A = this chain, B = another copy of it.
Amino acid sequence: MPLLHILSQKNILTLTYTLKAGDAVIIHSSNNFNIYLILEGALILSKVFTNREIISFSILKSQDIVITSFKDLSRSNFFYKVEALADTYLLSFNHQSIQPYEKIIAIQNYQTSLRYTYMTEILAHRNTKDRLIHLLLILSELFGVVNKSYINIPLNISKLMLASIIGSNRNTVGQLISQLEYNRSIRYSKQKIIIYDMVSLINSTT
């Protein structure tokens, strides 16, 4: 992994963060000095606007990097929130210190940039149920552990978080999950998702 190699070889000062599921790093225009590399875990990157609106941009995993940008520092009406969906280890380092190696960052960022298309695909659905099912499919693709008869998604992901990602509310998501559980497509318990029947899940879309 070239970036990690550069960080250690060039003695670049790094800080390690340990986030438990639900912990978040807040990045606003006045503390936007760092780049974060995900060593292990799962994160949701969102913009939180001053009117409390939240837009989730990407679901990130190990080897992805978090770079945030503010166009106009003096007038930004949002901050970034990076929230852990599982125990997550982050390495942070200063933007300036890595500048001579920006090519390495660009390459590392290529994979990360593909994650943005996932959110576009989820949000392209207008219907909340379709958005939720598409999200479950992407979570299982990114994090799913396949067992004989089911797929385990080893994240801690609250109904509120699911709702926030798809732009819905906790109650609606709760009702939709109950429907999918009733059909035996999935099981959701203590913030853990298990997909029992992928075909019936896909067929549940409107």
Measured CB to CB, the closest approach of chain B to A139, in angstroms, equals 17
**Cβ-defined contact, A107 with B117, below 8 A:** no
In the complex, the count of this chain's copies comes to 2
CA A106 to CA B107, docked complex, whole Å = 5
CA A102 to CA B110, docked complex, whole Å = 11
Interface mask (A53-76 → B, CB under 8 Å = 1, otherwise 0): 001010000000000010000000
A123 contacts the other chain (CB 8 A): yes
A residues with CB within 8 A of B: 55, 57, 69, 102-103, 106-107, 109-110, 113-114, 116-117, 119-121, 123-124, 126, 167
Instruction: Please name the 4 residue pairs, one residue from A and one from B, whose CB atoms are nearest each other, closest first.
Output: A113-B113, A116-B116, A123-B123, A106-B107
